[in-house]
Amino acid sequence: MDKILRIDVGAEGGPKAVVTPLGEYEGMGGRGMTSMVVFKEVPADCHPLGPENKIVIAPGMLTGSAASTSGRISVGCKSPLTGGIKEANAGGQAGQTLARLGYAAIILEGAAPANACYKVLINKDGVQISDATEYKGLLNYDLIEKIKPVYGEKVAVMSIGPAGEMKMAAATIAVTDREMRPSRHAGRGGVGAVMGTKGIKAIIIDDAGTKMRQPKNPEKFKAANKTFTQGLRSHAVTGEGLPAYGTNVLTNVINEAGAYPTYNFKQGQYKDAGKISGETIADLETKRGGNPTHGCHVGCAIRCSGIFVDKDGNYVTKQPEYETVWAHGGNCGICDPDAIARLDFLDDNIGLDTIEMGATIGVAMEAGLLNFGDAEGAIKLVGEVGQGTPLGRILGGGCALTAKAFGIERAPVVKGQAMPAYDPRAVKGIGVTYATTPMGADHTAGYAIATNILKVGGDVDPLSTEGQIELSRNLQIATAALDATGYCLFIAFAILDQEETFNAMVETINGMYDLSLTGDDVVALGKKILSMEREFNKKAGFTKEHDRLPRYMSREAIAPHNVTFDISDDQLDTLYNW
């Protein structure tokens, strides 16, 4: 990957593509690339939907190679949801195909003409940008069906649904999986809305005629990659739990720990959690002819994705992730797997973040728009978002906006972004991450659940205030670096527990680039990325007072442990003191 593709959508005479060398971005990938470009090129005080904002799409440093489980892609911009810097991470095939074509990043910039709708084709012959008015307003799945006859069924596609075209703050960018379904999403922060401002409906990536990226030191790479893959397959989480039940294996675990937010974060356990657990849904999929074990991209050793089918064996959606099952399930008092799968499909089709939408519907339920447990009502509300009705526009603006519109204090958000499926009062390490990450409430920024609950990489009592700052700090640094590599976040379970697997991961990078990186260099990369993100947010107007959880979480105790979030502001303010 030795070049950057820049597309100025507002150029005179129509969008223009220019390919440039890496320059100062040499050596960066994934989140490192997206955050560095946004930090250096986007005015921190610009409007997220204005022409000064840019959207950056970057495969990881190892993506497109034979490195196991390394096919992730990052999307970065100034977020219309948080007002700060954002990186949203996705699986699917786009990262692999883009990397094999040699692109370290796509940068979309400028202001598209009103009502413009373009498609971008990237292949070994170059880049073509053309009118896509025929695609305007299409749902993601309908769009892919239109693309297949023209471009074939082996291309990868990144697209926005109606939510992105309507520039909703909860809008995603869809990425097609191995079966060319738009089921993987760069979900958080409203990145789809920014792509909508650029007038880009779809980016079609065709790597036909290219080869897998080759390492500079093949022997070192091959040996390290083999050891790394063996480590993933031998670990209980990455080798057993995730392949068998997907991420939803966590439902019973988190519910038992008393940290499963239910009824808009009112309690920490859900009485019907067993009806929507990973074990239950995997069994249902198997009986119906679906598949609980599936890789979202070629080369994944974990295969935590799956295929959810209806009672007649027809495809409904990918296996709903734990966060989705919680957001549309337990958080809303809904315990019907088929209803949750339907909501997951609707979100993917419209192009909406399932976490943000589930939290938003929970707030709407508290506001009295519908009752907790009303699955059909929830489906209708998501439908309104897709139609762009006045109510749909409010809901599509996310959890914080919906709470403000209906006079609800209890909005589970940080920096405007909804919290995922772990109550920070009962898992205090994740609460520190929610509060302090530059990304807004985001579990993937520093997954303290690993150590607080799963006891991976150590054991820090989730209910104690002791050790949580250090835990979150170390995980945020490690995650920022990991997000730059293209490796899936879930490899963290193995590399935290197995020193040999961690060392093999570093040696795989060294083999790819003929480097001699150490663990300390990985830490330094993580710190560099976080420092840029923090500085961008500071310039955007964020202060230490934004690194806080909602006040009600320090006032309202949550059952069954009857605990509040009691880590002090002074403690939170020390997290970035490295």
CB contact set of 346 (below 8 Å; sequence gap of 6+): 352, 379, 382, 383, 386
The residues of the chain that CATH labels 1.10.569.10 are 248-422
pTM score, whole prediction: 0.96
| Digitized pLDDT (tens) for each residue of the chain, 578 residues in all | 899 999 999 999 999 999 999 999 999 999 999 999 999 999 999 999 999 999 999 999 999 999 999 999 999 999 999 999 999 999 999 999 999 999 999 999 999 999 999 999 999 999 999 999 999 999 999 999 999 999 999 999 999 999 999 999 999 999 999 999 999 999 999 999 999 999 999 999 999 999 999 999 999 999 999 999 999 999 999 999 888 888 999 999 999 999 999 999 999 999 999 999 999 999 999 999 998 888 888 888 888 889 999 999 999 999 999 999 999 999 999 999 999 999 999 999 999 999 999 999 999 999 999 999 999 999 999 999 999 999 999 999 999 999 999 999 999 999 999 999 999 999 999 999 999 999 999 999 999 999 999 999 999 999 999 999 999 999 999 999 999 999 998 899 999 999 999 999 999 999 999 999 999 999 999 999 999 999 999 999 999 999 999 999 999 999 999 999 999 999 999 999 98
Q: What is the DSSP secondary-structure string of 151-173?
A: H-SS-EEEE--HHHHTT-TTB-E
What does the pLDDT look like over 288-328, one tens digit per residue? 999 888 888 888 888 888 999 999 999 999 999 999 999 99
Q: Environment class of residue 363 by beta-carbon count within 10 Å: exposed (0-12), middle (13-18) or buried (19+)? A: buried
**Which of the 8 DSSP states describes residue 444?**
G
Q: What is the amino acid identity at position 557? A: A
pLDDT of residue 545: 97
The residues of the chain that CATH labels 1.10.599.10 are 216-245+424-578
pLDDT of residue 294: 83
User: Cis bond leading into 560, ω under 30°?
Assistant: yes
Q: What is the amino acid identity at position 18? A: V
At 388, list the tokens: 């762009």
pLDDT of residue 302: 87
Q: Topology of 216-245+424-578 in CATH?
A: 1.10.599
- Rg of the chain on CA atoms, in Å: 22
C-alpha to C-alpha distance for 359 and 349, rounded to whole angstroms: 18
Nearest one of 180, 104, 193 to 141, comparing CA atoms: 180
Nearest one of 569, 19, 505 to 232, comparing CA atoms: 505
**Residues forming a β-bridge with 205:** 122, 156
Q: What is the CATH architecture of 3-205?
A: 4-Layer Sandwich (3.60)
Q: Helix, strand or coil for residue 561?
A: coil
**Residues forming a β-bridge with 73:** 59, 90
CB contact set of 183 (below 8 Å; sequence gap of 6+): 92, 174, 176, 177, 296, 317, 318, 348
pLDDT of residue 422: 98
Q: Topology of 248-422 in CATH?
A: 1.10.569
C-alpha to C-alpha distance for 235 and 419, rounded to whole angstroms: 28
The residues of the chain that CATH labels 3.60.9.10 are 3-205
**Is 146 in contact with 135 (CB distance < 8 Å)?**
yes
